[in-house]
Every structure is written in structure tokens, then in C-alpha cells.
Structure 1
Amino acid sequence: MFYAIDAVDTFFFRNASPFDADLSQSASSLFPPFPSVYAGALRYADTTRGRSSSEISRALKIGFSGLMVDGRLLLPRPLDTWVSPSFKLERLSLVPSPVGSSPLPFSLTPVTLTADKEVEPRGGGYVEEADLSRYLEGADWEAPCLSLSDFVKREGHVGIQIDRSSGASRSGLWYSIEKVRPVDACNRRCSLVVEAEGVSVDTASSIKLGGEARAASIRRLEREESFAPVTSSSRYFKLYLAAPAIFKQGWLPWWIDPVTKEGFFAYKKHRIRVRLLSAAIGRHVAVGGFSMEKRQPKEMRYAVPAGSVYFFEIIEGEFKDAVKLFHRKCVSDYREGYGFVYQNWDRMRYCDRGYGYSLVGTIGAEQGGVLNV
């Protein structure tokens, strides 16, 4: 089930930087938040009676999380694309890596050489749901790149620490916070969207979300599952991450051998063996948080950012196996409460808090280059 969350005023989602009113006096807000942020809000918004908070936590599974404007989902731009000066996205082409300069056999380069520099959209680049679906199909493709800054406003707030005993302000202990107001210049709302199972929010209601427990409204969306599976007989596929993924080996999943770059993944009756050919990965992001149950900060982890893309060759299995195993699945290695060491079967094979939500796509002939896909 999909839910939309709208801010009543502003949102504040802490990043991993230290923050206090003495030395680290400035804090900025993430947007959109990490997938795990929704767990607490959904747990307390659940309208099913007779279940404890711990029972809801065990049943809760978070899948897709992202943004929505005017009823259209927005997703991070795939990092195997190039942003032209006209803010158009063009796919990069796979070419053999120079000997000794890359751990992977193929690198990514623009299809046509150009003297123009790549544009970096303010706040990050996004694509609409329909454009991303065409991207996954692997056909000739060009799409507009949307800037996140066009859909949100960032506001600075300044405060000072108060002495609890006297009620007076404390000299020198000031701080500044950057909050996010998710509306554009025309006051259109930019909603947070999350897919969740194991909870039931039947009627529109209010929740508290993120830092400072900011008030928000939540409502159920009457929509079908997005991103229909791609069909192909190819021996190659790409894996697009719509959400950050925490992998045991840094940028590599635990099931990929760091030397041979080969590995197999199995779930129930499906099994596939693949070889990693190339990857388009952004700068890592630090994932932390605060546990309300344990009343202490969560362990800090580095995650591969949303929009990262992995290119695989199928050694054993078929394209349909890749779709069954990875499409609309959360492939992050780390699972809250278990870490990286846990049973690798049934529902515990996948992350249940939305990290590493992945989509499977084909590698088009133009992008595949010498692969002859």
C-alpha cells in the first residue's frame, strides 16, 4: 500500500554531521529522508487495534520511498546518465576500461564527444516515473532532468540555548537549523511517498515525522504498483537503486566476490549467477539515526547513494530470474536489529526498511556498445 505524507509547516531530517549549540552550531536538513525514517511514524499511525508497538514493528515492511508532485512520482536520476546544459539526460555508453585503471572491465563515457561540461542540478537531479520506466526498457531515450530545488524551499532558522535553571539565554550558545518547506514557487506540494506492508492507515490522519517531531498529514493512495517488470532474452541487465543501499563490502553487495566480481543470489525457487561489468556510483552517504526504543543513537553506516546503477552479465540463469530476484526488492545487506549477519532465506533475505530498493532494466544497444546486447 502506498501512502502520501505532506508537511503541515516544514520538515527537518538530520544528516550525520555533529550538531550542538557550542562547537558544531549549524545543521542542514536531508530531503527526502532515509527510508528508515518512516518506520516510527507508520508504527504510531497504524489504526489496527489490539496490536502492540513491537508487534507492528515485526510486521512492518517498507518498500519504495520517494517524492510525488501533481500525482507523479519523482525518482533520483540514474547515475549512468549525463546532464546536458539544456538539462536533458543522456545515457552514457559502456566502453572497455583502460588496463590497470579500473577494478571493473567496463567504464562509462558519453555516447558522443562534447566540449560542454555536465550540469549539476541544484539539490540533485530527478526524473519522472514515466521517463524512468522508458529508461529501464533500454530503448533510445532522452528525458528532462528536474532539479529538486524547483520543488522545495530551504529556510534558515536561528536559535539560542536556554539555561533550564534560570530560563535565561546562554551567552555564545547559538545555533542555526536549515529546514525544508516542500512546496514550489506556485505553492504546489511536494509529497513524501512510502510503500508499506504490515500496517493499516485507513483514514487521513496526522503524524510526527523527523527531527523536532514535525507535524505532517498522512493519507492512503489508491494506486497500482509502479514500474512494470521489463521482459527480455538478453544475457545482460542493469540494477538501478531508487534508495540508498548499505552493503557489507562498501560499494559491493556481500554476495559478490571482491576479486572475481562474480556471485550468485538465490531466493526460494529462483537462482542466478552474475558477473559485475561496470557501475555508476555516487559519493557515499552516512546513515545514522536515533533509536526511540533504546534511547540512544544508531550505529553509523556508509551507504551507496540513490541513483547508483550496476551492470551485470548473467552467467547462470535467465533475465526473468533477475527480475524475480531484484525488481522492486530491497537489496541492501544491512538489516536493523540483525546487522550484516542473519539468516539468508525467506523474508530475511531482503532488507525490510526500504534501503536498496532496486529496479531491473535492460541495457540498450546504444549504451551497451561492444557488448552487442
Structure 2
Amino acid sequence: MLIEPRDPLIVRDGRPFTNSPGARARSLPFPLPQTLAGAYRTRRGLEEGLAFPKDALKVRGWGIRGPLLAEEAGGEWQLLVPRPLDALRLGERVYPLRPLAVPEDAGCNLPQSLVPVGLESPSLKEKPASLPAFWYWGNFLEWLVKDAPEGFAPQGHGGPVAEVRTHVSLAASGTAKEGALFQTSGLEFSCQEGRTLRRLALALWPEDGKDLEGVFPLGGERRLAYWHPGGPSLPPLPEAVLEGLLRHRAARVVLLTPGFFRKAYLPEGKAFFGAEVVAAVVGRPVVVSGFDLAEGWPKPTRRAVPAGSVYFVRLPEAWGEGEVRAFAERVWMQNLSEEEQDRKDGYGLAVLGVWSGEGFRWEGV
């Protein structure tokens, strides 16, 4: 299912906002899964004749996967995903970040026996250059199925463009108050780049396959969005990834949406369904809050692992082919957050990438 904002989408970052002079309503760079889950459940519940907040607990069981970014090209919609954080551009080349092989007589202060992550050589000391915030799925798939691909060139763009509007506060008479200017920042999903009109949307996959259609508000200020069925389907598990799992008994787990784990950035017990986490590349935490409609008060503020974070895992050697395949199917395009409600809300959507299981060895170190 696709949700195409008609107006610049405002998804607030939680900071207080009033129409007082100089106030600014800032939008997140991309909506959180719970925003889309809440909008989907509200609209579906109203269509089915449910009442809120009385039936709020019932609709929580309607799970989603996503949102991911989608772009229309030639009449077809293609997926874009957040850039993986194990990719680093130095100069004109993109290098992979991988676990380092720690010498026997050395150690580090990372918790729970995790090993550090780094580049293939200590001589790589250039200042990192920027990478596209969102990668096209076909390009991203190449990064997943090859461990440290040579000559890899990321293809994508920065996603929705920020659009700022300046407003004026009105007095009771309907005239403007002197000096009472304030701003709102939204995400423009349709923008002109040179001679090209880029048309973007949010891709969402309800777990029970119930799509919605029509015009309905989304985000702050009840700005409108067009909801319609169709769009890209969930990509299947590539055979190349499964073959890599069977060969190396190791993999990369890449988050496509922010995820929640009880031990901050690490899964409970360092495990994804029995696979051991040996290293991780994570970004700055995403602060998540909101309002609990069922309980009638604000939700506690929490910190989520950002999208694009990568976990390097090893599978037990005793696993047979069936167990390895079952692990891959439990991870690929599934929500991996540890709490069931977080999974229902779309947090922790993940894919697998190939990893040899070997750490980079720095010569002379």
C-alpha cells in the first residue's frame, strides 16, 4: 500500500510548539513507524465503525511493516531504503566497515565481548564524504549479496525535501499580530530537480493485507495524503544471501526502520533467534515519544536504534540447512524489536547481508 502526501508532511520531533513569536515546528527527516501505524489503525477503525478511545486496544493488534520510501519511475514504483551504516565513503571509493580481528594479546573495553568495527587498513585516514541518505533497492541489494564489493557506487538521493513555511499569528479581530511570526517545517514528497519531477510516497505493508484507499489526514496540522493500494511488494529473500549463510555461518543484520531492544542497542542476550552478535555499527539513538490514546496520557520517552544500523552475527555450527533457512526467514523483512507491540508498530524491519565471518586483520598492529 502507498501513502502519498498531498501537502508537505509534518511529523513533529516532540519539542514544544506554540504560535508565539519566533516559534518553529520542526519535522523529523522521515516519519517514525508508529506515526504510520497510528494513522493506518485510525482510518481503518473509523471505516469499520469503531469508536476511539474505547476500541484503541483492539486496533493495536493490526500490525504493519514499514514505512519505506518509494519513488515512481516510468509508471512503476521502486523502493528506497536508508543507507546502511557499514558503508563509508573516502574520496571516490566506498569502503565497508567490518569487525576487526583483535590480536590474542590485546583487548578492548566494549561490553559483552563485542569486537570493534573498522576499515580494512589503518592507513585509510581521509575525511569521510557524504553518501545518499536513501539507496535504490537494486543498488542496495548489491551491497547485501556481496561482502565488501569492489568498485561499489551508491545510487540514491536525500529523500523528501524539507519545506519551510512562515506564518503569522492572528488577533481576535482577524488582523495580524505585530511581530508574531512563526514557522513550520514539512517534508515535500513531490519536488522538481532540474527537469525531473521526483514523485515520492511511503510504502506500507499491513500484516493482514488490508489495504485502504482514498484521501485522509496524515501527520501534523491534518494535512492530506492520498492512500491507494499497490506499490512495490516486499522483496523476497535472495538465494545469494541464503548461500552465504550456509557457507560462512555468519551474516549482517541491517535495520530498515528504527528498532527497540531492552539492552539499548543490543538484543537481549546478544542473540537474534540463536545467532550471536559479535559486533555492531549503530548511529545516534532516535528519541521516540507520543501520546497513548488508550490510556489517555503521554507515552514514556524511549531511545530507538536508528535505521541503517548493522549487526554482525555468527550462526551456531551445529545448525543444519533447515535451521539456517528458518533463521533467514525469521529475519528477512520481519520486525525484530523485542517487544511484541513494537513489532506490531513496525519497529525493527530487517534484512540480511552476506558476511564472511572473518575480521579485518591490520598488518603490523
User: 1:178 is paired with a residue of what secondary structure?
Assistant: strand
User: 1:251 is paired with a residue of what secondary structure?
Assistant: coil
Q: Is the 8 A contact 2:21 2:179 kept in 1?
A: no
Please, which runs of 5 or more residues in structure 1 have no aligned partner? 257-261, 266-271, 337-349
Corresponding residue number in structure 1 for 2:214: 205
Residues 48, 101 of structure 1: alpha-carbon distance in 2 compared, 3 angstrom cutoff: closer
Q: Is the 8 A contact 2:61 2:344 kept in 1?
A: no
User: Is 1:228 the counterpart of 2:237 in the alignment?
Assistant: yes
User: Is 1:156 the counterpart of 2:156 in the alignment?
Assistant: no
What is the rounded CA distance, in whole Å, between the counterparts of 1:219 and 1:211 in structure 2? 20
| Counterpart amino acid of residue 348 in structure 2 | G
Residues 181, 50 of structure 1: alpha-carbon distance in 2 compared, 3 angstrom cutoff: closer
What is the CA distance between 1:85 and its match in structure 2?
Answer: 3.5
What is the CA distance between 1:126 and its match in structure 2?
Answer: 1.9
| Post-superposition CA distance 1:311-354 (Å, at most 9, x none) | 11223645324213322211113454xxxxxxxxxxxxx71111
User: 2:39 is paired with a residue of what secondary structure?
Assistant: helix
Corresponding residue number in structure 2 for 1:344: none
| Post-superposition CA distance 1:210-235 (Å, at most 9, x none) | 11111011111154431425313132
| Post-superposition CA distance 1:156-196 (Å, at most 9, x none) | 11224445x55555556542111121134122211111111
Corresponding residue number in structure 1 for 2:50: 52
Q: Is the 8 A contact 1:125 1:146 kept in 2?
A: no
Q: Alignment RMSD, CA only?
A: 3.0
Residues 125, 223 of structure 1: alpha-carbon distance in 2 compared, 3 angstrom cutoff: closer
User: Is 1:177 the counterpart of 2:191 in the alignment?
Assistant: no
What is the rounded CA distance, in whole Å, between the counterparts of 1:210 and 1:171 in structure 2? 29
| Counterpart amino acid of residue 66 in structure 1 | L
User: 2:8 is paired with a residue of what secondary structure?
Assistant: coil
Corresponding residue number in structure 1 for 2:28: 30
Please, which runs of 5 or more residues in structure 2 have no aligned partner? none
User: 2:325 is paired with a residue of what secondary structure?
Assistant: helix
Corresponding residue number in structure 2 for 1:110: 119
TM-score (norm 1): 0.78
User: 1:221 is paired with a residue of what secondary structure?
Assistant: coil
Corresponding residue number in structure 1 for 2:278: 277
User: 2:36 is paired with a residue of what secondary structure?
Assistant: helix
User: 2:128 is paired with a residue of what secondary structure?
Assistant: coil
User: Is 1:80 the counterpart of 2:86 in the alignment?
Assistant: yes
Alignment partner of 2:16 out of 11, 14, 18: 18
Corresponding residue number in structure 2 for 1:310: 311
What is the rounded CA distance, in whole Å, between the counterparts of 1:207 and 1:291 in structure 2? 21
What is the CA distance between 1:44 and its match in structure 2?
Answer: 4.2
Alignment partner of 1:63 out of 43, 62, 65: 65
What is the CA distance between 1:139 and its match in structure 2?
Answer: 4.4
What is the rounded CA distance, in whole Å, between the counterparts of 2:108 and 2:161 in structure 1? 45
Number of aligned residues? 335
User: 1:299 is paired with a residue of what secondary structure?
Assistant: coil
What is the rounded CA distance, in whole Å, between the counterparts of 2:30 and 2:88 in structure 1? 22
Q: Is the 8 A contact 2:21 2:182 kept in 1?
A: no
Q: Is the 8 A contact 1:32 1:66 kept in 2?
A: no
User: 1:82 is paired with a residue of what secondary structure?
Assistant: strand
TM-score (norm 2): 0.80
Q: Percent identity?
A: 23
Q: Is the 8 A contact 1:288 1:300 kept in 2?
A: yes
What is the rounded CA distance, in whole Å, between the counterparts of 1:335 and 1:222 in structure 2? 27
Corresponding residue number in structure 2 for 1:137: 145
| Post-superposition CA distance 1:276-312 (Å, at most 9, x none) | 2110000011112234555543321111100000111
What is the rounded CA distance, in whole Å, between the counterparts of 2:230 and 2:291 in structure 1? 29
Corresponding residue number in structure 1 for 2:2: 4
Residues 157, 50 of structure 1: alpha-carbon distance in 2 compared, 3 angstrom cutoff: closer
| Counterpart amino acid of residue 355 in structure 2 | I
What is the CA distance between 1:140 and its match in structure 2?
Answer: 5.0
What is the rounded CA distance, in whole Å, between the counterparts of 1:85 and 1:211 in structure 2? 40
